[in-house]
DNA sequence: TATAAAATTTAGATTAGCCTAAATTTTTAA
DNA sequence: TTAAAAATTTAGGCTAATCTAAATTTTATA
């Protein structure tokens, strides 16, 4: 149907629009590891195919069609991650690269069967919502743990940084999806946040607190 | 590591060598749906990479390295077929095209985990042996049902035709892997073979009998 | 064993996706 | 409000994989 490359562009544009409200040539190039000139070439092609709205120098948005393809890729990526973690016992920091390949397996029937096999999960191992087979997706309202005030509690529901290093750190410190945390101290001059979980108390950096997402 | 295209060439060459003891330019072109000129180009490239032994006009064989890559692809293809049939409830005639895509997923760790998850099966849904992670494969000695003599029994262990149409016919008539059949009549002038299974008696054409493989 | 037929290779092009360098447009800030 | 900086596009090229048409080699057969 569409090439892997086209699918990757549409997905990158989708993520940029979700996360930053805009998708520029340089942003797309950075997220795909290509050069801006290559992106411009592809934007013309995607525009010709009516998958994006594109006006020179103005950045892009997805057409209805383009967005539904992007959501299909995101759905596959996240469902395969569920499979890898829950059935094949991979850790949540190990699955992304495999899912980057698996998301391009074309069969819609396969992915719907996988969805069923996994029990139609709503979220992937990183807390990201899984679009259903009509492309509908739950829009989670999450906030960085850093924004919690002193004595406030919340449940960890996602991460803003998906890097293996960060995920491994969270795993090691038991700051995992579903865990309830309570802020015990917030310091202005120091750069750390003190908190307690069900089992223990700990101190995390502002950087970490910024990347842990709490359900509101 | 290697492109999908290179992997497909190596797999095609492997299958031709197994099934016909030789792999010629035209045969490879036919099995990949490309033209002979394209095959010649790729043979040069695979030869430069020391994956095949190639001498102009003489056909090709696989190097140790080339064969081990081919066996890796075959392993992935067959394990994914097992998964699709046993876990996602696909029929044996539906899985081939999906496996053609899944066989190129690169992670060795993924395929070894999948192997484990499936219980390290020795055969795929069509009775074809699955190479282990060292590339070792069981060399089954099978014979076409057509070669059974009158009153002789045997167990269906494979198929020589993997087309959905043939597989559906076998499924419908319950001539499936593991079924014991006994030849009740063989006619010289008529083109059919009469046989009985555990449940019923039936009559199949020579063409069908040729493509049902019996364990010896 | 000499042709004819078949198989294979070479020559020359095309397409998708990528690149660098140069030109153009937009944005920033003096 | 204009010059510098940043972003983007254009121009020109490269590689992998493909093709058609023509040339070459092998094989079959008269
Ligand atoms: Mn991921
Ligand atoms: Mn994820
Ligand atoms: Mn198959
Ligand atoms: Mn099979």
Reported as a single tens digit per residue, the pLDDT across B154-164 is: 999 999 999 99
Residue A64 near chain B (CB below 8 Å): no
pLDDT recorded at residue B116: 98
What is the distance in angstroms measured between the alpha-carbon CA of A127 and the sugar C1' of D26? 64
Q: Which nucleotides of D are covered by protein (CB under 7 A)?
A: 7-12, 16-22, 25-26
d(CA B194, CA B203): 4
pLDDT band at B1 (very low <50, low <70, confident <90, very high): confident
**Contact, A85 vs A125, CB < 8 A?**
yes
- What number of other Cβ atoms are within 10 A of residue A81's Cβ? 25
Question: H or E stretch including A28?
Answer: helix A25-32
Chain B 24-63, CB below 8 Å of chain A: which residues? none
Query: What contacts A189, CB < 8 A, 6 or more positions away?
Result: none
How many angstroms does the Cα of residue B82 sit away from the middle of ligand 4?
8
Question: By percentage, how much of chain B surpasses pLDDT 90?
Answer: 94
Lowest mean pLDDT among A181-190, B129-138, B139-148: A181-190
Beta strands in B28-124 (DSSP E): 52-54, 60-62
Residue A90 near chain B (CB below 8 Å): yes
Q: State the helix-helix crossing angle for A4-20 and A64-86, rounded to 10 degrees.
A: 90
Nucleotide nearest the Cα atom of A7 (by C1'): C17
Q: Is the CB of B5 under 7 A from strand C?
A: no
Residues with CB under 5 A from ligand 1 (ion): A 96
**Contact, A76 vs A103, CB < 8 A?**
yes
Nearest bound ligand to CA B121? 4
What is the distance in angstroms measured between the alpha-carbon CA of B48 and the sugar C1' of C1? 38
Q: Model confidence over B109-120: pLDDT tens digits?
A: 999 999 999 999
Q: Model confidence over B8-41: pLDDT tens digits?
A: 999 999 999 999 999 999 999 999 999 999 999 9
Q: What is the 3-state secondary structure (H, E, C) of B97-146?
A: HHHHHHCCCCCHHHHHHHHHHCCCCCECCCCCECCCCCCCCCCCCEEEHH
Residue A110 near chain B (CB below 8 Å): yes
What token pair was written down for A193?
């946040």
pLDDT recorded at residue B190: 63
pLDDT recorded at residue A187: 79
CA–CA distance from B94 to each of A6, B36, B88, B162, B163 (Å)? Answer: 27, 30, 11, 10, 10
d(CA B52, CA B62): 4
Sole residue written with tokens 């009516």: A50
pLDDT recorded at residue B9: 98
Q: Average pLDDT in the B50-74 region?
A: 97
Q: pTM to 2 decimals? A: 0.95
Q: What SS3 state is found at A208?
A: helix
Give the largest CA-CA distance in chain A: 56
> Is residue B92's pLDDT more than 90?
yes
Ranges of chain A with pLDDT below 70: 189-190
């Amino acid at each position: 149907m569409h090439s892997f490359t086209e699918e990757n562009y549409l997905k990158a544009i989708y993520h940029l629009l979700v996360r930053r409200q805009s998708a520029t040539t340089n942003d797309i190039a950075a997220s795909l590891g290509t050069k801006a000139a290559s992106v411009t070439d592809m934007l013309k092609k995607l525009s010709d195919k009516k998958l994006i709205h594109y006006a020179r120098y103005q950045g892009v948005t997805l057409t209805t069609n383009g967005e539904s393809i992007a959501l299909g890729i995101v759905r596959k990526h996240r469902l395969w991650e569920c499979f890898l973690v829950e059935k094949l016992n991979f850790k949540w920091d190990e699955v992304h690269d495999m899912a980057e390949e698996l998301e391009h397996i074309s069969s819609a029937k396969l992915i719907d069967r996988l969805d069923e096999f996994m029990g139609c999960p709503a979220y992937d191992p990183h807390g990201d919502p899984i679009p259903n087979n009509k492309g509908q997706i739950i829009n989670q309202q999450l906030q960085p743990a850093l924004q919690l005030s002193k004595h406030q509690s919340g449940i960890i529901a996602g991460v803003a940084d998906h890097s293996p290093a960060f995920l491994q750190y969270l795993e090691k410190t038991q700051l995992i999806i579903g865990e309830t945390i309570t802020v015990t101290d917030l310091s202005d001059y120091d750069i750390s946040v003190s908190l307690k979980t069900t089992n223990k108390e700990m101190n995390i950096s502002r950087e970490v607190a910024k990347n842990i997402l709490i359900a509101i």
